Chains A and B, each alone.
Chain A
Amino acid sequence: MIRVLDFLESLRATLWPRAARRFEAAAFLLPALLLVGVLVLGLAWMADASLRLLDTETFELSEHWTLANYRDLLENDTAWIVLGRSVLGAAVVTAVTLALAFPYAWVMVRTGSAWLRKLLLVSLFLPFFIGQVVRAYGWLIVLGKEGLVNQLLGALGMGPFKMIYTYGSVLFGLVQYMLPFAVLLIAPAVTAIDEEVELASETLGAPWWRTFLEVTLPLARPGLVAAAMVVFTLALTDYAMPVILGGGTNDFVANMVYDAFFRTSDSGMGSAVAIALVAAATLLAGVLLTWLGAGTLGFRGEAKR
């Protein structure tokens, strides 16, 4: 056994000499940098394609660069409607998801009952194993005209009600999809809150709601900000929920990208919409971070108050 370990040690010394150890941190970063590099290459290709116009007689993109796709996009009423719907939807989904995720995470972390904690964890992870598309189809079965809910309401002499293929149903599906992400991001922040600080607040006479608003929530801010950013960007760029639960008339921006690439074979316009979406999402995330400060994510740095 010792010989094997000696051999492995000498192998490591040969392949990765002591002098190279200062590069260890960089080596660990290399896979991530490669991955980001591939994404940047893809974005560069899309940026190039976005500057080329489709010729519908040959279905080739132009040889020369032009801003025509971006101009068309800016003048396209549909694009603005879809962008507005996506941003508003992402904002509503973020607010509702955080409102539901925080108490879930708080109970999951603070409960004294191991049984309840396990139940909440299983309920949290189960949807991850199912996947977004299947979950969306599940809602079609539950909320459809002849679905479970309408059948129950029918037994009570009510309905049937239209509960799917609306903007509301898309947002509902997105909230359900985003909830586990938000809980998982908020839970570590709640765990990090020292319960004695809350006790001190209550000991000094603060009612529970004041302790919650002025102690618990501010201390949980790194988790809340991280969850808000993840939920907002995922909802803003979502494709499947609007397709499955939107009935074809509640598209988000990602659906526009798909349409341009795959329905009208216009990779130039598809790239322009995609670049605009990336720019909008990055800008909104940047504004959020600038407003709250990078420290709110738990990184080193001063969190703004």
Chain B
Amino acid sequence: MKHDDTFESRRRALLQAAGAAAVLLPFSRAGLAAEPAKPKELIVRVWGGEWKDAIDGGVSKGFTKATGIAIKYDETEDNELQPKLWAAVKQKRRPPVAVNWDTTTNATKSALKNMGEDLGDLTNLKGLLPVAKPLGFDGWPLVNVYSYVYVLAYRTEAFPGGAPKSWSVLLDPKFKGRIALYNDGIGFHPAAQVAGGGKVEDIPKNMKACWDFIAKLKAQKPLLGEDPDFTNWFQKGEIDLACTIVTNARGAKKNGVKVAWTIPQEGAKVDTDALWIPKGLPANEVYWAKQYVNYALTAEAQQGWCDGLGLPGVNPNIKPPADMVGDPAYPTKPEDFAKLLRVPNKIQVENEKEWFGKFKKIMQS
């Protein structure tokens, strides 16, 4: 694309002028001398609640302190921002955000459309865990920043005998109308596949076990929602069980809701989130957006950010927060990793539409 070529050449020229020192030594005196002009602020897309608090305390405050660049947040839902970003890049308009905190699945879609700047020149990519590298791309159109597990969260008062052992507890008639899933079924497919008697390796070719299990679940009249709904539903006493990201369950617990979580015997899906920078920003903002991402990968920033989320980062030098030590939802031991169900991102992206259609067909019938 002509636009990309022009933009790339401008960016390269600026980076050459800035000098390699600026890239290798961000925020240092040597770097500052040749750095491009600092924007007053950078806009970062985030999820709200504890997600925003975590990135603000862990990454943004440190970045602002080091550079003087203020960070503003755009809390537009990731799915809703995506077409706006795509349209902006396609129409050669300035994109609405400088850094997009996104699910790896959505970020991969954008990367397939060549929407992002290459992050391959970030100095802090070296030494990250292999999970940081996006699969199926030569360069780094995105960088994965942490992993998360879709746990089985439960209201402790409903389980006086301790944590449920299996995802099959969702089918217990006692919990009819009191269970919750994501409204697109995300995070539940591999667990349903195993709980239904199938194998994760059979995804996507043979998912009969998954769809049969979800069809049985429909009779349980589940509530379907987004991240904030789960906390709300637990708080309001609407549900006893949910398949949700551990961060949401932890957030509810921190807010005084009597909630705990477990990784059932069938295992639980693990996934990643990513940061990426859309094309079409002025060259100086691309530079500073990259510095933001680079800073987010440092041990210091990752520690603060991931402590807030209760999730394992991609920097190997960080430690789990006190309340997550020994928790299999923050995997550290081989037996923890053995219980994680992983579906390659390429398979997720290519099959998302079909899976969504099947999930909707069951749930809307």
Partner of B350, one of A56, A144, A145, A259: A56
A57 in contact with B353 given A81-B364, A81-B365 (CB within 8 Å): no
Stretch from B26-34, B63-71, B218-226 contacting the other chain: B218-226
B349, closest chain A residue (CB):
A56
CB-CB under 8 A from A146, the residues of chain B are: 236-237
Q: A77 to B83, Cβ gap below 8 A? A: no
A78 in contact with B238 given A54-B353, A249-B224, A262-B80 (CB within 8 Å): no
B182, closest chain A residue (CB):
A248
Stretch from A36-44, A190-198, A263-271 contacting the other chain: A263-271
Q: How far is the CA of A144 from the CA of B235 in the complex (A)?
A: 11
B82, closest chain A residue (CB):
A265
Which of chain B's residues 72-115 have a Cβ closer than 8 Å to chain A? 77, 79-80, 82-83, 109, 112-113
A250, closest chain B residue (CB):
B364
Sorting the interface of chain B by its residue count into under 10, 10 to 19, 20 to 34 or 35 or more gives 20 to 34
CB-CB under 8 A from A247, the residues of chain B are: 223-225
Which of chain B's residues 222-258 have a Cβ closer than 8 Å to chain A? 222-225, 236-238
Q: B356 to A259, Cβ gap below 8 A? A: yes
Q: Scoring B residues 342 to 365 as 1 if CB is less than 8 Å from chain A, else 0, what string do you get?
A: 000000011111001100110111
B171 to chain A, nearest CB (A): 17
A141 to chain B, nearest CB (A): 9
Is A232 part of the binding interface, using a Cβ–Cβ cutoff of 8 Å?
A: no
Q: How far is the CA of A295 from the CA of B353 in the complex (A)?
A: 47
Is A181 part of the binding interface, using a Cβ–Cβ cutoff of 8 Å?
A: no
Q: A58 to B113, Cβ gap below 8 A? A: yes
Q: A59 to B361, Cβ gap below 8 A? A: no
Q: A259 to B360, Cβ gap below 8 A? A: yes
CB-CB under 8 A from A77, the residues of chain B are: 361, 365
Is B183 part of the binding interface, using a Cβ–Cβ cutoff of 8 Å?
A: yes
B107 to chain A, nearest CB (A): 12
B145 to chain A, nearest CB (A): 22
Is A165 part of the binding interface, using a Cβ–Cβ cutoff of 8 Å?
A: yes
A55, closest chain B residue (CB):
B112
Which of chain A's residues 216-275 have a Cβ closer than 8 Å to chain B? 247-249, 251, 259, 261-267
Q: How far is the CA of A60 from the CA of B238 in the complex (A)?
A: 40
Partner of B177, one of A147, A162, A263: A162
Top 4 nearest A-B pairs by Cβ distance? A248-B224, A262-B79, A264-B353, A248-B183
Instruction: Report A's interface with B, CB cutoff 8 A.
Output: 54, 56-60, 76-78, 81-82, 140, 144-147, 162, 165, 247-249, 251, 259, 261-267
A-B contact pairs, 23 of them (CB 8 A): A56-B350, A56-B353, A59-B112, A78-B364, A140-B236, A144-B237, A162-B177, A165-B223, A247-B223, A247-B225, A248-B183, A248-B225, A248-B363, A249-B222, A249-B224, A249-B363, A259-B184, A259-B356, A259-B360, A262-B82, A264-B353, A264-B357, A266-B353
